[in-house]
């Protein structure tokens, strides 16, 4: 059962709510437990500094696939919290005893601007696993996630919340590739993509690579123009953010006011986030590159501050247009929106 199904099942009754909430929590701690003996200590440290879990671990958590065990753990921190997070992790007694070696990998300015990762602390553990703590090039810990190699890796998990940018594709084992980044892929990126393919993921540059999104052909005749599937938030050129209607965001325990905690502590999907479009060679015929609601032409990502809006309107401060929001923000019987 993937995380979307679990959340729907959780809403059916209180017993299921408690079981599903515990299951979600165990799902995260068991995956982290493959790396460190005390995952709660690591979760506390990551939460304290507003960082997020991403990469294969977040994908594995979203899919809830037991066989998809990450080889390495990726943590993303903002540029101003990164150093303190690294010190806290390395000095944590339960982790220190496991550390075989650790090294800081500096990104070239070119790579930092492309992938939005300024620096990485690689912690090699005696159990053969590796933890990578990435320093975002911006104030948003999520910025490097927006520059992931493909949409299957644009997910986040925190102590309270989780998000998936392209659930329609990810749950169908499909991913749009950031093909313009291929020359800048690291060996770890290539390993992650190989493991995606090994788990029967399909990678493509255009949604029309998959039968459901193919243009309407009658024999050799094109009946209707090719769609970019913008209305389903699948156009690689459109601006996206965690919380739009095409994404999935949720909380481990909504009844325990986890959303309020995220708002208060500036944790995703609130606080310093990012709006982005894929680094892709896809050529959108519908003009998503220059007619987008949230990103101007030529802009591939911008850091933004998401806050709860007491007036219940989601507005874009750049264009001052009301944006379409995720159903999540309009649930619970009263307006729940956030502002940029
Ligand atoms: Zn488009």
DSSP sequence for 107-163 = PPHHHHHHH-EEEEEEEEETTS-EEEEEEESSS-TTHHHHT-SBGGG-EEE-SSEEE
> What's the rounded Cα separation, in Å, for the pair 250 and 275?
18
Q: What share of the chain is helix, strand, coil (3-state, %, to 5)?
A: 35, 25, 40
| CA 239 to centroid of ligand 1, rounded, Å | 10
Mean pLDDT of the chain: 86
Which residues place a Cβ less than 5 A from the ion ligand 1? Answer: 228, 230, 235, 284, 286, 288
Structure tokens at 306: 């998401």
Cβ–Cβ < 8 Å for 251, 161? yes
Which tens digits make up the pLDDT trace of 249-296?
Answer: 999 998 888 988 998 999 999 999 999 999 999 999 888 998 898 899
Burial of 299 (0-12, 13-18, 19+ CB in 10 A): middle
| CA 231 to centroid of ligand 1, rounded, Å | 9
| CA 287 to centroid of ligand 1, rounded, Å | 6
Domain residue ranges of the chain, discontinuous segments joined by +: 3-205+239-272
| CA 205 to centroid of ligand 1, rounded, Å | 13
| CA 108 to centroid of ligand 1, rounded, Å | 32
Determine the distance from the C-alpha atom of residue 259 to the mean position of all C-alpha atoms in its chain, rounded to a whole number: 17
| CA 228 to centroid of ligand 1, rounded, Å | 4
| CA 291 to centroid of ligand 1, rounded, Å | 9
Residue identified by tokens 């050129």 is: 237
| CA 299 to centroid of ligand 1, rounded, Å | 15
| CA 289 to centroid of ligand 1, rounded, Å | 7
| CA 193 to centroid of ligand 1, rounded, Å | 25
| CA 166 to centroid of ligand 1, rounded, Å | 15
Residues in the chain, pLDDT under 70: 216-226, 309-340
Count the Cβ atoms, other than its own, within 10 Å of residue 98.
17
| CA 53 to centroid of ligand 1, rounded, Å | 30
pLDDT for residue 307: 83
| CA 285 to centroid of ligand 1, rounded, Å | 7
Structure tokens at 261: 């905690």
pLDDT for residue 293: 86
């Amino acid at each position: 059962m993937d995380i979307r199904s679990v959340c729907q099942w959780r809403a059916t009754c209180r017993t299921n709510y408690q079981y599903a909430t515990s299951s979600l929590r165990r799902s995260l701690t068991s995956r982290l437990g493959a790396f460190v003996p005390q995952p709660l200590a690591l979760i506390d440290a990551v939460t304290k500094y507003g960082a997020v879990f991403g990469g294969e671990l977040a994908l594995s958590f979203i899919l809830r696939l037991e066989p998809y065990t990450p080889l390495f753990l990726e943590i993303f921190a903002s540029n101003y919290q990164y150093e303190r997070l690294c010190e806290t992790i390395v000095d944590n007694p339960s982790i220190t005893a496991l550390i075989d070696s650790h090294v800081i990998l500096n990104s070239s300015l070119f790579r930092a601007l492309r992938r939005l990762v300024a620096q990485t602390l690689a912690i090699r553990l005696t159990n053969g696993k590796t933890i990578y703590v990435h320093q975002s090039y911006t104030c948003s810990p999520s910025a490097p996630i927006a520059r992931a190699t493909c949409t299957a890796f644009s997910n986040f998990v925190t102590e309270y919340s989780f998000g998936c940018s392209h659930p329609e594709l990810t749950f169908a084992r499909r991913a749009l590739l950031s093909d313009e980044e291929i020359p800048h892929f690291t060996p770890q990126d290539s390993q992650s993509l190989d493991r995606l393919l090994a788990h029967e993921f399909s990678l493509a540059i255009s949604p029309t690579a998959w039968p459901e999104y193919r243009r309407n052909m009658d024999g050799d005749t094109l009946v209707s123009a090719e769609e970019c599937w913008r209305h389903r938030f699948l156009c690689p050129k459109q601006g996206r953010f965690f919380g739009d209607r095409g994404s999935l965001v949720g909380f481990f325990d909504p009844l325990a006011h986890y959303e309020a905690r995220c708002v208060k502590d500036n944790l995703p999907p609130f606080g310093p986030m990012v709006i982005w479009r894929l680094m892709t060679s896809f050529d959108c015929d519908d003009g998503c590159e220059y007619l987008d609601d949230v990103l101007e032409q030529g802009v591939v990502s911008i850091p933004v501050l998401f806050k709860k809006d007491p007036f219940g309107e989601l507005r874009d401060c750049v264009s001052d247009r009301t944006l379409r929001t995720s159903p999540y923000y309009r649930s619970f019987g009263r307006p729940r929106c956030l502002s940029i």
